[in-house]
Amino acid sequence: MDKKMKVGIIGAGRIGRVHAMSISNYIPEVEIKAVSDIYYPSAEKLAKDLGIPNSYENYQEIINDPEIDAVLVCSSTDTHAQISIEAANMKKHVFCEKPVDLSVEKVEAVLKAVEENGVKLQIGFNRRFDHNFRKVKELIKSGDLGDLHIVKITSRDPEPPNPEYVAVSGGMFMDMTIHDFDMARFLVDSEVEEVYVAAACRVDEKIGEAGDVDTAVITLRFKNGTLCVIDNSRKAVYGYDQRVEVFGSKGKAEVANDTPSTATWSTADGVFGEKPKYFFLERYMESFATEIKEFVDAIINDKETPVTGIDGLKPILIGLAAKESVKEGRPVKL
């Protein structure tokens, strides 16, 4: 590319700002030309902070800008599909935050639009780019662990969302476990054929009143024979707990949490260490930059994106099966 690739960011909330900063700081070959937000002051502020030349209330100003090569869809979940389709139709490459949508039909419509327009689509499953999980993936791919038999994913948030949030988010399986479903597919490299969930509301009864659960043990059976178990909690008082362990015919690999330092200390009272990094912004900051770098790389070098539309669709199907399993108290086939 002779000149810089130009992108627009749609949605100037927390994750939109993270991506904007990643591009500013680490991706010199990309220029952010515009940012939009339905709450215009957010867009304006982000533009000012990072020296982005244009800010809009209406995302269509971005989509209609012929100079813009790609858009990052960082708006609220219910608008992801519509904006992604419109962007694809205007021949923009699309980076879309997860989940694409809670409706399978809408997700499929996005995939169709992307395919028809010959543009790239990448879904924001950033954890695939985390240094710890990447190392586990490398160990698996090297063959050093043999055939996978059991995969264990621990994923616990430091504090629960508002009960109002779970009512619109699609619930824990769609807003939180969806990352773990993606991680399971990423590590196992096969498709889930059955889901069983044992779940409960143990953290906040208002979450239960809102029709959701906050604690779960989820068993996935993959087509290639691997068994996977995910354990989730909306509230780990000691902080964000994000670990995986994979066990195969030739060995196992596991990762511990990242911590602010490697310090340990000992007094008459005991032996002490650091709690995990607080939440996803602290833990996964580096992975957010890496995913955008690889999105840009896929566009520039015309390669498949590392997290495709199908990778966006499958976890939603697993999440819907998980919800059905809770409702019916039995394993559900996909």
CA distance 120 to 307: 10
Q: Which is nearer to its own copies, 112 or 250 (CB)?
A: 250
Does position 252 bind its own copies by CB under 8 A? yes
CA distance 313 to 322: 15
C-alpha distances in angstroms, 46 versus 91, 95, 324?
25, 19, 41
Does position 31 bind its own copies by CB under 8 A? no
Does position 90 bind its own copies by CB under 8 A? no
Query: The tokens 């008459």 sit on which residue?
Result: 268
CB within 8 A of 123, min separation 6: which ones? 96, 97, 98, 100, 307, 308, 309, 311, 312
Which residue in 82, 89, 103, 219 binds its own copies (CB under 8 A)? 219
Does position 247 bind its own copies by CB under 8 A? yes
* Site map (CB under 8 A) of its own copies, residues 255-274, x = contact: xxxx-xxxxxxxxx-xxxxx
Which residue in 70, 21, 9 sits closest to 286, CA to CA?
Answer: 21
If 0-12 CB within 10 Å is exposed, 13-18 middle and 19+ buried, where does residue 216 land? buried
Q: Which is nearer to its own copies, 150 or 168 (CB)?
A: 150
**Which residues inside 170-189 make contact with its own copies, applying CB under 8 A?**
none
**Which residues inside 97-116 make contact with its own copies, applying CB under 8 A?**
none
Q: Which is nearer to its own copies, 99 or 160 (CB)?
A: 160
Which residue in 141, 250, 303, 327 binds its own copies (CB under 8 A)? 250
Phi, psi of 195 (to 5 degrees): -130, 135
Query: Residue 163 forms beta bridges with which residues?
Result: none
DSSP tag of 60 = H
Would strands 30-36 and 192-200 be described as parallel, antiparallel, or unpaired?
Answer: unpaired
* Site map (CB under 8 A) of its own copies, residues 140-159, x = contact: ----xxxx-xx-x---x---
Does position 329 bind its own copies by CB under 8 A? yes
Does position 205 bind its own copies by CB under 8 A? no
**Which residues inside 46-85 make contact with its own copies, applying CB under 8 A?**
49-50
Which residue in 198, 210, 285, 317 binds its own copies (CB under 8 A)? 198
Which residue in 36, 84, 233, 305 binds its own copies (CB under 8 A)? 233
Which residue in 202, 208, 293, 297 binds its own copies (CB under 8 A)? 202
